[in-house]
């Protein structure tokens, strides 16, 4: 008879009240000491472990905690520190933060998205570095859990193939030898963990959900054969997630004790039916969705478990989330303002662990044991499904009217750009910013007072207008060409629209980590999405009234709103994306009617939503292009549409970016500036473009020379008539002084380049 046990793959680091974030930022402001930072984070780390123990999780992850990012942790454990930081103490926490955030002497390491999530990792730089084991941090956290709480935890490691695959600073021909150089270090880490008494060791290889080459699969086989031979007493769970394992039939033959498969986002039931599952291995089945917040259909989940059990012969099956719970909020118990119908349909990290335990109890003891839980779950889900949130027929009718027809602008870009140039009268190499300006403690504090009712609506509106006026004046003094209103009324670029659009709900404490200490609160798409009325017009029109320069209208695009929200699962995602596109079209046209002739519809999450399996890319691209065009194609030819993207590997999505048909695109590239510019050497791009000329994620102020070098590098490949000059992202998280100083240097660099270009033309 099969026995079922429970497991978690990782737990949110941030704390119920973002205690982790607050401690980190206090340390960076020199308000607490390093010892105080470590004391507070240890308290939180142990509390998280204790909570999972109390929720009856059998295999509790340790080592999933981080001071910034788990990939950066892995790099530091193995002495992989960028050359520009190697003169610093490699065991100092300040060196660690310098690599992540930059310092006065050196730029930060590149940051990009963790597969197709909104979590960002720091990209390791392997340039000629010989790895060595600096610290077995997994062992430290394992011992801490055992000694402090009596928990025999499950250490979590980033696997060697995934780690090197996600790194930079080497040629593809070196991939195999570099992975092999890490093997002795992994052997030592595993041996020390096994010797310390770790029953299970989780090695994450999410790269198995991507399209690996034959040589990469062969290397993976070699790696795990080597680990099994060198450390035979280490019980490894090879953990995959986010997608179907591409080479399932070969991966299940690897010499590991257990294999973790994602049954939410992958077709692994079909794979098991076709290829079976080895009798000598334990299946760790990712049954509960670790990336969404909706309550599970426990009846269907229990049926899935029974179906899996009927196919494979196993003494033990592990029931767990589909991935780390890092990607969802901590608990819904602190939510007091949201509609009860919605609240009952939610499941955050703690509630997901309860669902795991419920399924384990039902699988082990019979369905009757969990009958109350099954009924409660079913009633909550059915009540939400039948609610007015999901009964908006008008939206369906509007989408039906569009049908499958191609949506496009009235004029081609080559024709409309001439009209825009005549209308806008912008200079060569126009300067702008991406949208948001510093949200100081005063801005956030005033918003909090307003939300608590401590100041009235008019007082809050007066404050927002005073901040807008101040920053319009600052931008004019800096001589920026196209201004922004600053977005001081917005909490977050997606949550703001979630508060304004019908079909959404927002939480009070539904925070998740995005990068470093940056936490976001994704809105909930609970039903059919529709436009309820103007969302941004008042603020943009007010800002425009303060200046003779152009002020951009600022919106977040449908792909990003979808990817950065928790989306209900009753309709196909692309249908909901089109619903958002329709709602945004109404807002775009309202801005245009109000006289706004530059409108930016940001899509920073376009690439991150890509399926890991490249065979699914065409459908994703078609849907993204369609929904963006639904939002923007109805404007007049004289209205200039901008968009902005983050961390885009431009070469991979070049055609879809072109197909969006935005007049101007800005791309966040400052940490990998040259790599993206290389794309233009092999692709023709006729529209206008701004490559981020400095990194806003670091507090350092770049020099004029540094920014000018980035501009000059771009202009070797991109026509000067196409190029815009801007920071690489919004300035919301930066302070006023550093923002003004950096923008001043950016404007000066732009002036110098303009003068040089003009001189060449005259000469």
What are the mean pLDDT values of the chain's consecutive 10-residue runs (763 residues total)? Answer: 95 96 97 97 97 98 97 97 91 95 90 91 94 96 98 98 97 96 98 98 97 96 98 98 95 98 96 95 98 97 96 94 98 95 98 98 96 96 94 90 85 96 96 93 92 93 96 97 96 91 96 94 96 96 97 97 95 96 98 97 88 92 95 97 78 83 84 58 79 82 92 88 92 91 96 90 61
Q: How many CB atoms lie within 10 A of CB 739?
A: 21
Q: How far is CA 208 from CA 69, 112, 236, in A?
A: 21, 19, 16
Phi first, then psi, for residue 519 (nearest 5°) are -115, 145
Contact predicate 112/100, CB 8 Å:
no
Element (H, E) at 563: helix 558-563
Is 549 annotated in a binding site? The answer is: no
Q: Which CATH architecture has domain 3-328+338-385?
A: Alpha-Beta Barrel (3.20)
Provide the β-strand partners of residue 645. Answer: 667
Provide the β-strand partners of residue 484. Answer: none
Contact predicate 329/347, CB 8 Å:
no
Element (H, E) at 386: none
The DSSP code for 431 is B
- The whole-angstrom separation of Cα 629 and Cα 661 is 8
3-state secondary structure of 662: coil
Is 644 annotated in a binding site? The answer is: yes
Q: How many CB atoms lie within 10 A of CB 744?
A: 15
Number of helices and strands in the chain (H, E)? 27, 23
| pLDDT reported for residue 404 | 75
Is 73 annotated in a binding site? The answer is: no
Is 602 annotated in a binding site? The answer is: yes
Is 200 annotated in a binding site? The answer is: no
Note the pTM of the prediction, 2 decimals: 0.90
Q: How many CB atoms lie within 10 A of CB 695?
A: 25
The full 3-state SS of 306-357, as one line of letters, equals HHHHHHCCCCEEEEEECCCHHHCCCCCCCCCCCCHHHHHCECCHHHHHHHHH
Backbone torsion region of residue 720, taken as left when φ is above 0, otherwise alpha when ψ lies between -120 and 50, otherwise beta = alpha
Is 118 annotated in a binding site? The answer is: yes
Contact predicate 690/666, CB 8 Å:
yes
Let me know if the fold of 3-328+338-385 is the same as that of 417-762.
yes
Is 113 annotated in a binding site? The answer is: yes
Write down the catalytic residue from 265, 268, 485, 697.
Answer: 697
In total, the chain counts a number of residues equal to 763
Is 490 annotated in a binding site? The answer is: no
Provide the β-strand partners of residue 113. Answer: 120
The number of angstroms, rounded, from the C-alpha of 35 to the middle of its chain's C-alpha atoms is 30
Determine how β-strand 111-113 pairs with β-strand 120-122: antiparallel
Q: What angle, 0 to 180 degrees and rounded to 10, lies between the N-to-C axes of helices 650-660 and 617-632?
A: 40
Q: How far is CA 520 from CA 134, 503, 539, 702, in A?
A: 33, 20, 23, 27
Is 436 annotated in a binding site? The answer is: yes
Q: How far is CA 745 from CA 81, 424, 440, 495, 612, in A?
A: 29, 25, 21, 32, 39
- What is the dotted CATH code of the domain comprising 417-762? 3.20.20.210
In the chain, where the domains are located: 3-328+338-385, 417-762
Is 634 annotated in a binding site? The answer is: no
Specify whether 697 is catalytic.
yes
Is 487 annotated in a binding site? The answer is: yes
Q: How far is CA 274 from CA 269, 312, 315, 317, 690, in A?
A: 9, 11, 21, 19, 49
Q: What angle do CA 683, 117, 173 make, to 5 degrees?
A: 50
Q: How far is CA 183 from CA 132, 167, 188, in A?
A: 10, 16, 9
| pLDDT reported for residue 189 | 98
Is 476 annotated in a binding site? The answer is: no
């Amino acid at each position: 008879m099969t026995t079922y046990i429970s497991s978690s793959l990782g737990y949110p680091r941030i704390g119920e009240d973002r205690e982790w974030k607050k401690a980190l930022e206090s340390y960076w402001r020199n308000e607490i000491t390093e010892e105080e930072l470590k004391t507070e984070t240890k308290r939180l780390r142990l509390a998280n472990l204790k909570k999972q123990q109390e929720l009856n999780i059998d295999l509790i992850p340790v080592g999933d905690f981080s001071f910034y990012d788990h990939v950066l942790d892995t790099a530091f454990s193995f002495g992989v520190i960028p050359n520009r930081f190697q003169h610093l103490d490699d065991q100092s926490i300040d060196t660690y933060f310098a690599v992540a955030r930059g310092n006065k002497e050196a730029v930060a390491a590149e940051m990009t998205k963790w597969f197709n999530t909104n979590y960002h990792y720091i990209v390791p730089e392997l340039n000629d570095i010989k790895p060595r084991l600096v610290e077995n941090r997994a062992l430290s956290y394992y011992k801490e859990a055992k000694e402090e709480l009596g928990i025999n935890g499950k250490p979590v490691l980033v696997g060697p193939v995934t780690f090197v695959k996600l790194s930079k600073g080497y040629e593809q021909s070196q991939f195999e030898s570099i992975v092999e150089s890490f093997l002795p270090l992994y052997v030592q880490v595993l041996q020390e963990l096994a010797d310390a008494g770790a029953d299970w060791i989780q090695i994450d290889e999410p790269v198995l959900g991507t399209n690996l080459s034959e040589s990469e699969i062969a290397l993976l086989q070699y790696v795990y054969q080597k680990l099994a031979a060198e450390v035979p007493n280490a019980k490894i769970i090879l953990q995959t997630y986010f997608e179907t394992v591409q080479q399932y039939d070969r991966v299940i033959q690897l010499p590991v004790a257990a294999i973790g498969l994602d049954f939410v986002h992958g077709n692994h039931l079909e794979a098991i039916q076709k290829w079976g599952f080895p009798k000598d291995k334990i299946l760790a089945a990712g049954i509960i969705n670790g990336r969404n917040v909706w309550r599970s259909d426990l009846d269907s989940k229990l049926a899935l478990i029974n179906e899996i059990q009927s196919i494979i012969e196993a003494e033990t099956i592990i029931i767990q989330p589909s991935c780390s719970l890092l990607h969802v909020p901590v608990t819904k118990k602190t939510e007091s303002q949201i509609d009860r119908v919605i609240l009952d349909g939610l499941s955050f990290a703690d509630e997901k662990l309860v669902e795991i335990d419920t399924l384990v109890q039902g699988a082990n003891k019979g369905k009757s044991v969990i009958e109350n839980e099954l009924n409660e779950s079913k009633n909550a889900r059915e009540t939400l499904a039948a609610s007015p949130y999901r009964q908006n027929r008008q939206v369906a009718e509007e989408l039906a009217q569009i049908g499958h027809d191609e949506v496009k602008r009235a004029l081609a870009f080559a024709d409309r750009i001439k009209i825009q140039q005549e209308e806008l009268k912008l200079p060569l190499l126009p300067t702008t910013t991406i949208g948001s300006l510093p949200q100081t403690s005063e801005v956030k504090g005033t918003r909090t007072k307003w939300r608590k009712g401590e100041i009235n609506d008019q007082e809050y509106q007066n404050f927002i207008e005073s901040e807008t006026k101040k920053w319009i004046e600052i931008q004019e003094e800096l001589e920026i060409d196209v201004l922004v209103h600053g977005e001081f009324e917005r909490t977050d670029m997606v949550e703001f629209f979630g508060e304004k659009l019908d079909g959404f709900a927002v939480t009070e404490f539904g925070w998740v980590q995005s990068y470093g200490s940056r936490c976001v609160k994704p809105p909930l798409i609970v039903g059919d999405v529709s436009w309820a009325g103007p969302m941004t017009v008042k603020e943009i029109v007010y800002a425009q009234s303060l200046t003779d320069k152009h002020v951009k209208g600022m919106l977040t695009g449908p792909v990003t709103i979808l990817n950065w929200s928790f989306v209900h699962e009753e309709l196909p995602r692309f249908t909901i994306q089109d619903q958002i596109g329709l709602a945004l079209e109404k807002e775009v046209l309202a801005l245009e009617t109000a006289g706004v002739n530059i409108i930016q519809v940001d899509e920073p999450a376009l690439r991150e939503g890509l399926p890991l399996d490249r065979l699914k890319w065409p459908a994703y691209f078609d849907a993204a292009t369609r929904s963006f065009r639904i939002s923007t194609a109805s404007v007049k030819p004289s209205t200039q549409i901008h968009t902005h993207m983050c961390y885009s590997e431009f070469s991979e999505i070049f055609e879809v970016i072109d197909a969006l048909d935005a007049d101007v695109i800005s791309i966040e590239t400052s940490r990998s500036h040259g790599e993206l510019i290389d794309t233009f050497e092999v692709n023709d791009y006729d529209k206008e473009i701004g490559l981020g000329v400095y990194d806003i994620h670091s507090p350092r102020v770049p020099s004029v020379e540094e920014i000018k070098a980035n501009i000059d590098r771009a202009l070797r490949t991109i026509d000067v008539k196409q190029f815009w000059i801007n920071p690489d992202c919004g300035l919301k998280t930066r302070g006023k002084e550093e923002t003004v100083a950096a923008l001043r240097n950016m404007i000066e660099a732009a002036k110098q380049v303009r003068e040089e270009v003009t001189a060449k033309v005259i000469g």
